[in-house]
Chain A
Amino acid sequence: MDRRDFLKTGAALALLGAASKVIGQVQVDKAETAATNLSAEGMPDIVAVRGGSPVDMFDRAIAELGGMDKFVKKGQVVTVKPNIAWDQPPKMAANTNPDLIARIVKACFEAGASKVQVFDTPCNSWKQTYKNSGIAEAAEKAGATVVGGDAAKDEQYIREYYAEVPVPKGRLLQKVMQHKFIRECDVLINVPILKVHGGATMTCCMKNLMGTVSKEYHQLFHRLGLTRCIAENASVRPPDLNIVDAYRVMTKRGPRGVDETDVKELGYLLAGRDMVALDTASAKLMQLPIRSIKYLEEGIDLGLGTTSLEALNIKRVTL
């Protein structure tokens, strides 16, 4: 590839990214969500913060994005979707930082949210996972409504909370069993933790949304083709805001982790609207080749965002 080709490809990608962004915005079309106007107002697409505690970094990031009231309007119902997948303590960095979740919940209430809902579809026993991750307690203390259940065997819970929704852009998936908190919310805030991942190479924003479907669909995704399904599922209800917890990250034997040697303190937090761009930036933080994370290409294909970070307005802050 010579320089001309490189420039051409870059330009084409940037164009594609911009186009897909526009398409994405038109399709989401949430008038009350001010996030759509961010670029127009000269707000950054991505805010990357380093050098502070997760809570401090979040406060700074959300301030750079114009404050939580840019995303949450008075009386709205907000769903915060952390990663609560594994029965591991916070020090293992297998689940999102509980303090960060508590802070986000509080920020939503401060912005006037009428209700903040928190849930995940854990891989391990849900009760133990909610408890040992520390997230259920932290979120409840902050005033959030937390629900959980056995999304594999508890038919009652599945009937009550999961329902089929169509996947308009789906090629492999026609429908998914989606959680009530995703279907019934005005604002969706996706709060993944950054980890390496045995199947998908890396888990961050797009992969975290796999926790919005029932366990039956987790297995189905793996059977049909994991990378494509991750992207198709993420396209059903793109989050209004993504906050990537990259303070402590799992650098091997992820996503569950075996012992503390799997965990490194990276000290970052990223925030923004574009899932694909945030995942791309996260992959760079983890020094993973972008091409090894196949769902990023699928994300571009579905118009979820762009991997060309140079085309975006990135605000870099060191605390």
Chain B
Amino acid sequence: MKSRRNNWRSARIFLAVIAFTLLLASLFMGRRFRWAFLTQVGSDIPALLGNFSIGVLVAVIGVLLMTLVFGRLYCSVLCPLGVFQDILGHFHRKGAFRNTPWKRKIRGPVFCVVLVAALFGMMLPLTLLMPSANFVIICNTVIRGTVQWLFGATGLLPEPITLRPMPAVQVTGWVMTLGLLALNQWRGRVFCNTLCPVGALLSLFARKSYYRVSIDQSKCVHCGACEHLCKAGCIDAQAGIVRNDECVKCLNCLSVCPKGALTLGHPAKAAQPLDANRRAFLANGGAVVAGAAVGLTHKVVARPEAEIPPIMPPGAGTLERFTSRCVGCGICIGACRGKVLKASVTEYGLRGFMQPVLDPYRGACDFNCHACSKVCPCGALTPLSKTVKQTTRIGLAHWDPSLCVAFVDEEACGACAEHCPVGALTMEEVPGQEVRVPQVNPSLCIGCGACQNICPVRPQAAIVVHGVETQCRVEPPKAEESNIKLRAEEEFPF
């Protein structure tokens, strides 16, 4: 099949490459490119509810306006998972797709379930289906892992980039990638028109967009070339209809039509009518109820109340607030300088699978770093200034003398006190002990985990940090005068 170049399509690809590169940069190069993630409406909308800001509002309105004008161009240009699928689909044998009307029956109910469950504080369905979150998860597991595996030994990487995810998280990443690849080979962008909540949302706005792809009935010979090429499965060649709510504006079809019957423009004809029948209404209504039910299950699959709370990243606020707002994408994990954050498995209960948690055995929260709270795209972490972060308690250190080298073996150690950035841990003399032992001042401890991380005792450290249910500010350490009077005036005391 001859394919002529189409300028619209070239422009779409050009924009997609730029956007995709910037999004990758925002994941791998930290805070410098974090604004690129503002384009992701999937995480912007929860951010509007969690941490309102004008920037996010403008971004959301911008995307919706763009959808009203150009349809779901977002899905082909700004959505990283969409572009990722296009890259995967590049190897697909061309011309094997077909119009798939059944996907319309799935999209609405799935959207309702995910949305209502999220409103009830159960974020897991959103974590597993939201495209930007999925893309970050794939990046953090599959892409980072593969690049490390391929180039780790060559010395081309300045630093290791793998995040050492837990096995369950690694498997989830691979299932997402391979599942997406399989769906893509089978029916192109079928994920985007069935399971994707962002696609479902935008399809509501795209139905009557100003610019649409339409078929000129006077030229069309119903050959089906466009329908077979359409990865979104939105063209019915027999009826000569392009479903604009499903069209992702890849514009591949424009150049494939042998008669030049497909055009992008503002058609005089009205958009196709909404298929609002009783069955669809019932399905969506049922889905809302189902979503509520899923949402309420988090009470069942939550972690047991009696357990020690997990350590949440700074800016999380309370456990309930955080777990019901975080979409578990893991951008913060990639940005973590202290390499202490990891995607949780059961720490928050099943409900919080993939949500970030601090594991001081892996690293320590870097005292001068507040990247996680700054990069969080969905408002689960409130952005904290460096000074506020340095005085925000995310946990509390607990000393177990029965494991401590200094207490049991009476060997001078003090590794924990050395590393404490706030002076909450000091080595103090106690009666009956030959060497000084650690003492925690709970009024100063912020729970960064530096002590637990450096403690030489393993498998269980002698000093461990417990998370707190509610993060709060600690009193900044009072400036006190030194009790050691130095005689700098006295010359040479030796």
Contact = CB atoms under 8 A, between A and B. Distances in A.
Contacts of A48: 492, 494
A18 to B, nearest CB: 18
Interface residues of B, number: 48
Nearest to A295: B412
Interface in B149-173: 152-153, 155, 157, 159-160
Given A226-B411, A258-B423, A265-B488, A156 B417 contact: no
A255 B337 CA distance: 21
Contacts of B155: 156, 160
Contacts of B210: none
A260 B337 CA distance: 25
Interface string B466-494: 00000000000101111110111001111
A198 B427 contact: yes
A255 B420 CA distance: 10
A87 B494 CA distance: 32
B119 interface: no
B486 A251 contact: yes
A287 B486 contact: yes
B160 A199 contact: no
Contact of A199 (B337, B414, B481): B414
Interface in B404-427: 405, 409, 411-415, 417-423, 425-427
A226 B413 contact: yes
Contact of A156 (B152, B368, B412, B420): B152
Given A50-B492, A198-B414, A266-B486, A87 B160 contact: no
B481 A314 contact: no
A226 B421 contact: no
A264 B413 contact: no
B225 to A, nearest CB: 51
A222 B477 contact: no
Contacts of B492: 48, 50, 316
Interface in B309-339: 337-339
Given A258-B422, A285-B493, A264 B482 contact: yes
A38 interface: no
Nearest to B337: A125
B366 interface: yes
A190 B289 CA distance: 71
Contacts of B415: 199, 218-219, 222
Contacts of B483: 252
Contact of A259 (B366, B420, B479, B488): B479
Given A156-B152, A256-B421, A200 B412 contact: yes
B165 to A, nearest CB: 14
Contacts of A286: 484, 486
A111 interface: no
Contacts of B363: 153
A154 B419 contact: no
A287 B337 CA distance: 38
B423 A253 contact: yes
B462 to A, nearest CB: 11
Given A156-B155, A219-B456, A123 B482 contact: no
A87 B411 contact: no
A200 B423 CA distance: 16
Given A87-B367, A280-B494, A226 B479 contact: no
Nearest to A85: B418
A252 B366 contact: no
Interface string A252-295: 11011011011011110000000000001100111100000010
B494 A281 contact: yes
Given A156-B160, A199-B418, A256-B421, A125 B338 contact: yes
A312 B67 CA distance: 83
Contacts of B369: 125, 128
B456 A150 contact: no
Contacts, number: 132
A55 to B, nearest CB: 19
Contacts of A33: none
Nearest to A154: B160
B440 interface: no
A145 interface: no
Interface string B421-438: 111011100000000000
Contact of A223 (B157, B417, B457): B457
Contact of A256 (B405, B420, B493, B494): B420
Contact of B426 (A156, A198, A219, A309): A198
Contacts of A285: 486, 493-494
A27 interface: no
Nearest to B339: A153
A49 to B, nearest CB: 10
B123 interface: no
Nearest to A253: B423
A197 interface: yes
A220 to B, nearest CB: 7
A201 B435 CA distance: 11
A249 B487 CA distance: 13
A197 B414 contact: yes
A225 interface: yes
A259 B476 CA distance: 11
Nearest to A199: B414
A294 B412 contact: yes
Interface in A11-69: 48, 50
A225 B491 CA distance: 35
A227 interface: yes
Interface in B323-377: 337-339, 363, 366-369
B454 interface: yes
A128 B337 contact: yes
Contact of A287 (B417, B481, B484): B484
A198 B417 contact: yes
Contacts of A201: 412
Contacts of B486: 249, 251, 264, 266, 285-287
B412 A226 contact: yes
Contacts of B456: 219-220, 222-223
Contacts of A280: 494
List 8 A-B pairs, minimum CB-CB distance, nearest first. A199-B414, A198-B417, A223-B456, A198-B414, A222-B456, A258-B423, A219-B456, A284-B494
Given A149-B159, A225-B412, 12 more contacts: A48-B492, A125-B366, A198-B414, A199-B427, A223-B456, A224-B411, A225-B409, A226-B411, A252-B484, A258-B423, A264-B482, A267-B488
21 contacts: A48-B492, A48-B494, A87-B366, A87-B368, A125-B337, A125-B366, A150-B159, A153-B363, A154-B159, A156-B155, A201-B412, A223-B413, A226-B412, A249-B486, A252-B482, A256-B420, A258-B423, A258-B477, A261-B479, A261-B482, A285-B494
Interface of A: 48, 50, 87, 123-125, 128, 132, 149-150, 153-156, 160, 197-201, 218-220, 222-227, 249, 251-253, 255-256, 258-259, 261-262, 264-267, 280-281, 284-287, 294, 309, 314, 316, 318
Interface of B: 152-153, 155, 157, 159-160, 337-339, 363, 366-369, 405, 409, 411-415, 417-423, 425-427, 454, 456-457, 477, 479-484, 486-488, 491-494
